[in-house]
Amino acid sequence: MKTIQISEELYDRLKAFVVDPFDDTPEIVISRVVDIVDKARSKGTSWDAEEGAEQEAQPQPRSSKRRSGQEQVGMAL
């Protein structure tokens, strides 16, 4: 097993994702986050920082209608 060091700030953020304080260890929470990323990648979501920055720079149209082929993504832990 490997040991990693993280800042207190990141550890506090990690604790915000704990669902069951008796069962959820930091490893379980990190595993959940990795599973979410894997699932998003398999759906074709780009995690490229440059592409994300380009998308943020361009204003997105606000519409209550969903375009075909797009899907809303949410996260529940």
pLDDT of residue 5: 93
- The structure's pTM equals 0.50
Q: How far apart (Å, rounded) are the C-alpha atoms in residues 25 and 30?
A: 9
- Dump pLDDT digits (tens) for 3-61: 989 999 999 998 888 888 888 898 998 999 999 999 999 887 665 655 555 555 555 55
Handedness of CA 4, 18, 7, 33 (dihedral sign): positive
Element (H, E) at 68: none
> Residue 54: left if φ>0, alpha if ψ -120 to 50, beta else—which one?
alpha
